[in-house]
Structure 1
C-alpha cells in the first residue's frame, strides 16, 4: 500500500513530460508512493513517452480532453494513498519535494492542504508560494517575482496552487475534490476556500521546491484560459462567500468588474473571452447551478482572512 499518490495530468506535454516524471522518480521519500499519469487525449508524442515508463508508473488514457479538473478527479479515483498530490506536467521537482510536503502535512491534523513553493524554470525566482484570495473571489500568487531566499520561513497563505500541492484524503472525503465544472483555472482557489470554510488549515512547505514552466499549457489555448478565468472568478465568489460577508465583499466585486473590464479592452480576443466568461458565470448563478447551498453547509462560522482587491491590484501593478 502506498502512503501517497502523485497525479500528473498531461495534455500534449511531450516537451516537458519526461523531465517531470524523471524528477518524481528520484524522490528521497521512503515510505512508498505511486505515480499516476492521466493523459487527456494528447495528439503529440506523449503516448510514446508514457509507454516507455509503463513499468514504473500507472497510466490512464482518456478518449477526450476532460480538462485539468476532471483529469485529476479521475486520477484520484485510481489512487490508493492517504495523501493525494497533484503536479503539473510542465514542472520538475527537487529530490526532497515529496518528503517535505508530507512532513508538513503530518505535523498538524488540522492541516488539510499543503502547497509547494513553485519557482520559475531553472531560476531561484518565485512563481508562487501559496495563493491569496480577495473578497471578490480573485485568487493571486503570493511572493511572485521575489527571490526564494527573501521569502519568509513561515508562509501564511489562504490557499495552495494545485500545480504542486498535497491534499489529505480525509479532507477530500468531507468536502469533495476539484469542481469539474471549472474545467481549468481557479479550481484550486475554490478547493482551498471550501477547506477553509470547513475549518481546515492550509500550509506551505517552504523547502518543497518545484521548477515551473509557467502557463505552458494555457498559452496553447489563451482564449479558453481567459474565458475560464473570467467565468470562474464569479463562481468562486458566489459559491464560497458566506452570507454574512456578501455585503462586505461588494466594493471588491465592483472594483474587480471595472478593472477587469478595462483590462479586457486591450484586444478583441480578450474582450470576447472575458465577456463570454462573465455571461456564462451569471447564467449558472441565476440558474442555481453553482452548488452554493451545499458548500455553505460546511461553514463553521470562523472568521476568514481574505485580502482586498485594492491590495491585489496595487501589488500586481508593482510587479
Structure 2
C-alpha cells in the first residue's frame, strides 16, 4: 500500500455570494482530508473577494485579474499545487459539490490502487438524495451515456473504468498533469472533461469511478442572475472543437452535418416555443463557431437561455 502523500484541492469561484454559506459548510465537513486548499478567484467584485478571504482564511487564495472560465482558473490552482513536491494528488472540488465524510480519502486509495489510473471520481448523487446523477460517463460521437443514472446508490457498485469521471469532483495523480498537461484554456468552460479524456488515453492513463466515495452535486443556482452564460452555444462550439482536435476529418464532417440537420429540425418543430427554439438556435450558432474556430467569444450572456 502506497504511503499517503499530500492531497491538494482546488476550487474556483466567481461572484458566488449566493452559495458561499453552503460552500463553507461542505468544505468544513471534509477539510481534515485535505492538506492544501487552493481557491482561485476569477476576477470577482472587491466585496465578494473579501467574503472569500473571510470565509477561507486557511486557504491559499489566487486572485485572477480577469475571468478565464473554469479551465484557466483550475489551471492556476493546479500549477500552484504542482509546485509542492509533496503533493501527489490534486482534487477538483466544485463549490456546489458536497463530499461525504471519508470520500476524499477513499478517492485517494482508489487512485493509487492501480498504476494505470490517472484520474478518478466518486458516485455523483442528485441534490440531497441517494439517487445517482452519474457514475462516470461513456462517450460516443453522437451519444453520451451517464452510467447508472436514476438508480439508487449502493456502495456495492463495482469500481469501473469509464471515459469521463464526474465533473467538479475529480482527483488526479500529479503524474497525470505532468504527462497529459493542464486543461485546454481555449474551451473556457464545458467539454473540458471530454478533451482531457482523449488526451489521457493517448498518454496511457485510464479514468475510473468508485462507489466507496460519494458526493452530491447540489446545483445551487443564483436566484437573481445579472448574467448567465449561454450553455447551449458553448457546448455546441466546444464539442465541435474537441472533435476537430482529436478525430478524423471524416468524423468532423459527419458530426457537423448530422448536428445541423437535427438542430434545424428541432428549431422548426419548436417555432412557437421561444425557449426551446432559442436553445436549438444557440447550439447551431455554437456548431458554426467551432467549425470556423471562432473560440474567442466567451461572453455570450443571455438570461433566457
- Pair in the same fold by TM > 0.5: yes
Decide which of 161, 167, 177 is 2:182's aligned counterpart.
Answer: 177
Decide which of 271, 278, 284 is 1:269's aligned counterpart.
Answer: 278
Decide whether the 8 Å contact of 1:223 with 1:269 is kept in 2: no
Decide whether the 8 Å contact of 1:113 with 1:165 is kept in 2: yes
Equivalent in the alignment of 1:298 = none
Cα distance in 2 for partners of 1:257, 1:132 equals 23
Equivalent in the alignment of 2:71 = 69
Equivalent in the alignment of 1:47 = 49
Structure 1 residue 52: deviation in Å? 1.9
Aligned length: 281
Cα distance in 2 for partners of 1:104, 1:128 equals 18
Decide which of 88, 107, 125 is 2:113's aligned counterpart.
Answer: 107
Cα distance in 1 for partners of 2:32, 2:115 equals 20
Q: What's the TM-score once normalised by structure 1's chain length? A: 0.77
Decide which of 290, 293, 301 is 1:281's aligned counterpart.
Answer: 290
Moved more, 112-121 or 182-191: 112-121
SS at match of 1:214: coil
Q: What's the TM-score once normalised by structure 2's chain length? A: 0.80
The superposition leaves residues 32-64 of structure 1 with CA deviations (integer Å, 9 ceiling, x where unpaired) of: 521111112234964243122343111122222
Equivalent in the alignment of 2:37 = 35
Cα distance in 2 for partners of 1:226, 1:151 equals 36
SS at match of 2:219: coil
Two-structure CA RMSD over aligned residues (Å): 3.0
Structure 1 residue 163: deviation in Å? 1.0
- The alignment status of 1:17 with 2:23, answered yes or no, reads no
CA spacing shift, 1:194–1:60, aligned 2, 3 Å: same
CA spacing shift, 1:216–1:54, aligned 2, 3 Å: closer
Equivalent in the alignment of 2:95 = 89
Cα distance in 2 for partners of 1:143, 1:284 equals 35
Q: Which runs of 5+ in 2 are unaligned?
A: 297-305
Moved more, 223-232 or 250-259: 250-259
SS at match of 1:231: helix
CA spacing shift, 1:150–1:34, aligned 2, 3 Å: closer
Decide whether the 8 Å contact of 2:232 with 2:283 is kept in 1: yes
Cα distance in 2 for partners of 1:254, 1:151 equals 42
Equivalent in the alignment of 2:233 = 227
Decide whether the 8 Å contact of 2:183 with 2:192 is kept in 1: yes
Equivalent in the alignment of 1:203 = 208
Decide whether the 8 Å contact of 2:187 with 2:238 is kept in 1: yes
Cα distance in 1 for partners of 2:182, 2:47 equals 30
- The alignment status of 1:142 with 2:147, answered yes or no, reads yes
Structure 1 residue 187: deviation in Å? 0.3
Cα distance in 2 for partners of 1:86, 1:8 equals 6
SS at match of 2:160: coil
Decide whether the 8 Å contact of 1:264 with 1:274 is kept in 2: no
Q: Which runs of 5+ in 1 are unaligned?
A: 290-319
